[in-house]
């Protein structure tokens, strides 16, 4: 659901967009930190916020890091 948000911020389209790993952080909703493979050896880390159910909002891309590798640790940013 956040792929279009990410592509818009990066101003490019990605044919590959596979979530490989994720972590969560409970706040007033949930922060998801997601490692996504966008090409053979290129990865990005996404921070996605999902609000509480009564807020009726979809997931929101709150931040991202590009230039990551498969072995880069997925940490808070």
53-62 pLDDT, tens digit each? 888 888 999 9
6-18: pLDDT as tens digits: 999 999 999 999 9
Residue 73 counted as domain residue: no
Look up the pTM and report it.
0.90
Q: Which domain holds residue 12?
A: 1-68
SS3 string, 2-68, reads: CHHHHHHHHCCCCCCCEEEEEEEEEECEEEEEEEEECCCCCEEEEEEEECCHHHCCCCEEEEEEEEE
How many domains are contained in the chain? 1
Residue 28 counted as domain residue: yes
Residue 76 counted as domain residue: no
């Amino acid at each position: 659901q956040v792929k279009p948000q990410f592509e818009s911020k990066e101003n490019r389209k990605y044919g590959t967009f596979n979530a490989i790993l994720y972590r969560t952080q409970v706040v007033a909703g949930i922060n998801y930190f997601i490692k996504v493979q966008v090409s053979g050896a290129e990865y990005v880390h996404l921070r996605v916020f999902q609000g509480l159910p009564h807020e009726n909002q979809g997931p929101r891309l709150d931040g991202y890091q590009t230039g990551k590798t498969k072995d880069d640790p997925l940490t808070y940013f």
